Amino acid sequence: MMQTTKIITILLAAIILWGGAAYAQSDTVYVIPVADAISPGVADYIEKGIEKASEVGAACIIIELDTPGGLADSMRNIVMAIYKSDIPVVVFVSPSGARAASAGVMITMAADIAAMAPGTNIGAAHPVGAGGQEINETMEDKVTNDMVAYVKGIAKKRGRNEEWAEKAVRESVSVTASEALENNIIDLIAEDMDDLIKQINGREVPGRGTLDLDDPKQVVMKETLRDKVLKTISNPNIAYILLLIGLAGLYFELSHPGAIFPGVIGGIAIILAFFALQTLPVNYAGFLLIILSVVFFIMEMKITSYGLLSVAGVVSLLLGSIMLFEGDSPEMRVAWKVIIPTVTLISAFFIFVAGMVFRAHGLQPRTGVSGLIGQVGVVRNTIDPEGKVFVRGELWNAEAGSAIPEGAKVRVVNVANLLLEVEAVEETTEPNTA
């Protein structure tokens, strides 16, 4: 019995080992191209790529990086994914002309192997506030010190230049690829992907063994539809436009029930906008200012403010648009080239609608009971004190302060409970209707 159990155990172990060997792809290099600001969508894309490469047992994963920076939280998620990876992670700042700025500095230095192509640069990691302005002194010290401690921790873990890492944050210093190699910021310079793989072949990665890349297969990670959608709508400019489209669509549907199309588009846009806003560093004061601007525009249509509410709406919309996001880099905020035309278009639309409402209020009613006032008709049955008159193609009961004979012309001066109050009209007066 014991011998049978041992045989079964050995067979199971052999099957597991054989299956693992068949599943592993130790001769494969996974490549994740990133040429964008570091956002939640990009972080999710990189994390999934590292997980997939680890699951299939790839030899290593190479992040081909070109970024101006981005969100600190997204950067930290990427760094954590690199640390947790079961296989070596290489960050390659490429192609020539690319950069690893701001958040890209931490991602590059966190890699097991950091490489750059000739003509690239790395650095300028000083945190900035909304609108690209410097943060107030107290908050700047807190944010800067926190980021310095973080990047120095990364540099120490990977045995890289801690002093330069601190300068990159405090002084926004930036260096070329050759300077980065000289200052122990990166491990090597490679012309292209093939040259990089050739140089790292046989390199020992502390804690992860030696890379065996004699003739590796390169697998480029493709973005899924979900990745593309998430990355697209997490762009602050797209999220901002979706928010305004959603608000405008819902306003149309509420003011004109049954239109359907504006409500459907507005509903979809507002849901996508809220999904994007939860992944971005939203300043809710800016969000509330945008909502307040819509309220001001609607009030302009109801209250005679001689344009003051419209001005308040434009100012609120502009301030809210500027304050909406608080990214660490200009790429993570709404661009001026998007804010100016959008604010102009939305403001012009609401002001135009308000003007139409004012003109409609100033016109004499043309329909309904109130539209009868001022109309001229003909007496069909003598009014004494009541009778019947023919006005605008209809026969109405009418009354007058004095007797008016049949065939005489009368003008409607009031309507009460479907009874017209009329007065006689001089014979020289031309009737409006017969």
pLDDT digits (tens, 9 = 90+) for 249-259: 887 777 677 77
Span 53-78, average pLDDT: 91
Query: Which tokens is 332 given?
Result: 């993570």
pLDDT at 366 over 90: no
pLDDT at 129 over 60: no
Alpha helix stretches (DSSP H) within 171-259? 177-182, 193-200, 225-233, 236-255
- Catalytic residue, chosen from 85, 102, 293, 347, is 102
Span 218-225, average pLDDT: 86
Distance of CA 289 to the CA centre of its chain: 17
Cis preceding linkage at 385, omega within 30: yes
Query: Which tokens is 147 given?
Result: 């980021």
pLDDT at 85 over 90: yes
pLDDT at 433 over 50: no
Classify domain 24-227 by CATH architecture.
Alpha-Beta Complex (3.90)
Helix (H, G, I), strand (E, B) or coil at 89: strand
pLDDT at 50: 94
Least trusted range by pLDDT, from 43-52, 129-138, 214-223: 129-138
pLDDT at 25: 52
Per-domain residue ranges of the chain = 24-227, 235-362, 369-424
pLDDT at 406: 86
pLDDT at 9: 55
Residue found under tokens 């926190």: 146
Kindly state the percentage of the chain with pLDDT values over 90. 31
Alpha helix stretches (DSSP H) within 24-136? 40-55, 72-84, 103-110
Q: Examine the residue annotation and report whether 142 is marked as an active-site residue of this protein.
A: yes
What is the third-level CATH fold of 369-424? OB fold (Dihydrolipoamide Acetyltransferase, E2P) (2.40.50)
Q: Pick 131 or 125 by higher pLDDT.
A: 125
Interatomic CA distance for residues 75 and 383, integer angstroms: 87
Query: Which tokens is 43 given?
Result: 């972080």
Q: Examine the residue annotation and report whether 305 is marked as an active-site residue of this protein.
A: no
Q: Pick 4 or 26 by higher pLDDT.
A: 26
pLDDT at 21: 36
**Packing angle of the helix pair 40-55, 72-84 (nearest 10 deg):** 10
- Catalytic residue, chosen from 84, 142, 217, 302, is 142
